[in-house]
Amino acid sequence: MKYSARWLEENEKQIFNHFINVHPKGHSMQLWEWGAIKGRTGWQPWRMILEEDGKIIAAATVLERKLPLIGIPIFYCPRGPVVDFHDQEKVDAVLASIQDLAKKRKAILLKIDPDIAAADKELEKYFLTHNFHRLDAGKNFEGVQPRFVFRLDISPDEECLLANMQQKTRYNIRLAEKKGVVIRTGTRQELPKFYEVLKETTERDHFLVRAYSYFEDLYDTLVPAGFGQLFVAEYEGEIISGTFAFLTGQKAWYIYGASSNAHRKVMPNYLIQWEMIRWAKKMGCTLYDFRGVSGDLSEDNPLYGLYRFKKGFNGEFTEFIGEWDYIYRPFFYRFWQTAEKLYSGKLKGLLARFRRGK
């Protein structure tokens, strides 16, 4: 057999993370630590590696969770697996190994949403001819992970990055500096204040927020390990904005953002993004991901303001290939689809929580 696959134990975390860090498609949501975080929110993490002559050539963090009521699990491999998707033999070997585990665990499906552009028709053809089912998650934030993002190549020097931004974005960055806004990395003791501002943001913009304990876990698991960082914007001695970033290899992601209703005119959100970009460059990153925007770019879309804000930094609007389900048990998969569409009340709420990973 050309390749050998195996599932790892805790003492192999270092070699697993090293591979995720150095691989071009490595992602924070494939790190060992991310599996540990999800393991404390109702998921069971599994980590596998594919080897050739003793060298790791692919890896995957697979999350298992049982569906409500019927108690049968599904698998989810967030932004993975980490493999050269244009090497069909490697992809086949990874999927075969996950399928072996799925048979043992009686899983219904494997959900993937890889870090691959929608323009990759070769991979799309592979999925369509290999038992995958495409999911239409809409153009906003209906999917598990954002399908549309802004990404910025931060390999140019800072002067060039600033020059490439839209004039208004540069102006707002400088305005915040002129007004005395200070951006710095946040401490563990400042996490409650960040969460307070985050709740203020969610109430203003009408979206849900996870429990404070989840952000404690994020900080305690990722920041000391060098895979995450909290940032705060301070004005006149008060924290008025904050963000949380993920870091893996040469890539950084803006994950959570919070801004107070007070002092919005001093533009802290522009300066905090710029300082996060500068931090990412110092950490050796060449890619900064602003994360999700809507795929509906019409100006009357309520989410257009988010698109306009991120676009101002001159990132590249990117559409991913989307969510795909590899179906192991067709009967139960049909039940899962029907339940999503038809059930209401308590079951609908449970399914919605499941889709958001809560």
Q: How many CB atoms lie within 10 A of CB 236?
A: 12
DSSP for 75-132? EEETT--BS-TT-HHHHHHHHHHHHHHHHHHT-SEEEE--S-BTT-HHHHHHHHTTTE
Q: Which of 143-147, 255-259, 274-278, 331-335 has the highest mean pLDDT?
A: 274-278
Q: According to the model, what pLDDT value does residue 207 have? A: 77
Total count of domains within the chain: 2
Same domain for 116 and 45, yes or no, is: yes
Q: Are residues 37 and 177 in the same domain?
A: no
Q: What are the two backbone dihedrals, phi and then psi, of residue 160, each rounded to the nearest 5 degrees?
A: -70, -40
- Calpha distance 186→167 (Å, rounded): 29
The pLDDT confidence band at residue 341, using thresholds 50, 70 and 90, is low
Please tell me whether residues 40 and 167 are part of one structural domain: no
Euclidean distance between CA atoms 109 and 106, whole angstroms: 9
Length of the chain: 358
- Can you give the CATH number for the domain in which 314 is found? 3.40.630.30
SS3 225: coil
- Closest to 274 (Cα-Cα) out of 183, 164, 160: 183
Cα separation, 77 vs 291, whole angstroms = 18
Q: Are residues 235 and 342 in the same domain?
A: no
Contacts of 344 (CB under 8 A, 6+ apart): none
Supply the mean pLDDT for the chain: 92
pLDDT at 350: 46
Element (H, E) at 63: strand 55-66
Q: Are 258 and 345 within one domain?
A: no
Could you tell me the residue range of the domain that residue 36 belongs to?
A: 4-140+321-355
**Together in a domain, 348 and 270:** no
DSSP one-letter code for 263: T
Q: Are residues 313 and 334 in the same domain?
A: no
> pLDDT tens for residues 179-200?
999 999 999 999 999 999 999 9
> In whole angstroms, what is the distance from residue 231 CA to residue 182 CA?
10
| pLDDT tier for residue 347 given thresholds of 50, 70 and 90 | very low
| Cβ neighbour number for residue 29 with a 10 Å cutoff | 24
Interval 106-159: pLDDT, tens? 999 999 999 999 999 999 999 999 989 998 767 777 678 999 999 999 999 999
pLDDT in tens, 102-118: 999 999 999 999 999 99
Q: Which of 91-95, 292-296, 305-309 has the highest mean pLDDT?
A: 91-95
105-114, 175-184, 280-289, 328-337: least confidently modelled range: 328-337
Is residue 353 very low, low, confident or very high in pLDDT (cuts 50, 70, 90)?
A: very low
Measured from the Cβ of residue 318, the count of other Cβ atoms closer than 10 Å reads 18
pLDDT confidence tier of residue 339, bands split at 50, 70 and 90: low
Indicate if 176 and 260 belong to the same structural domain: yes
Closest CA to 285 of 127, 107, 152: 152
Q: Which helix (H) or strand (E) holds 52?
A: strand 44-52
| pTM greater than 0.85 (yes/no) | yes
Would you say residue 293 has pLDDT above 70?
yes
Cβ atoms of 176 and 268 closer than 8 Å:
yes
Tokens 């959570």 identify what position?
256
Same domain, 293 and 161: yes
* Nearest CA among 340, 42, 293, 10 for reference residue 150: 293
Q: Are residues 222 and 301 in the same domain?
A: yes
Same domain as 308, residue 160: yes
Same domain, 128 and 221: no
- Model confidence over 187-233: pLDDT tens digits? 999 999 999 999 998 888 777 889 999 999 999 999 999 999 999 99
- Give the count of beta carbons closer than 10 Å to the beta carbon of residue 351: 17
What's the confidence (pLDDT) of residue 357?
41
Q: What does the alpha-carbon distance between residue 144 and residue 356 come to, in Å, rounded to a whole number?
A: 6
